[in-house]
Amino acid sequence: MAMAKKSPEVILTTPVWVGGVALRAIFLVILMVITIRVSSPQVEHLRSLLETPDELIRVALGFAVCVWLFINLFILPRDPGAYRIWLYLGLALVPLSVLCAVAIW
């Protein structure tokens, strides 16, 4: 029976933690903004959502996604390596998501 290798201990520094949390939060907020914009009704009054089921479904799904993203905004990763991953991914994803948000607005 082979022994499982232990993964090396990941040292989490304060700048990596702050950067990972900040970039993750910015990315999730931008995703919420994009979701709100895409799922907003195309009619002017919210009371007319009941007349068109497509609009109602789109708004309901958009609301559910925004609630899910908002909840995940406050659930921090438990793995110390995840903050480093969010730091690296955030440096690439935040500018791209800002560009996407500007393009759909």
In a domain, 13, yes or no: no
Q: Is residue 73 part of a domain?
A: yes
pLDDT of residue 54: 83
Q: How many domains does the chain have?
A: 1
Q: What type of residue sits at position 68? A: W
Q: Is residue 7 part of a domain?
A: no
* DSSP 8-state secondary structure symbol assigned to residue 77: -
pLDDT along the chain (105 residues), means of 10: 60 89 96 92 72 84 96 92 92 94 90
pLDDT value at position 5?
60
pLDDT of the residue at 52: 80
96 domain-assigned: yes
C-alpha radius of gyration, the chain, whole number: 19
* Assigned domain for 47 exists: yes
Contact 71, 5 (CB under 8 A): no
Q: Is residue 62 part of a domain?
A: yes
Tell whether 6 is covered by a domain.
Answer: no
List the domain range (segments joined by +) for residue 78.
37-104
What DSSP state is assigned to residue 49?
G
Q: What is the pLDDT of residue 2?
A: 57
pLDDT at 4: 59
Answer yes or no: is 53 within a domain: yes
Q: Are 36 and 62 in contact (CB under 8 A)?
A: yes
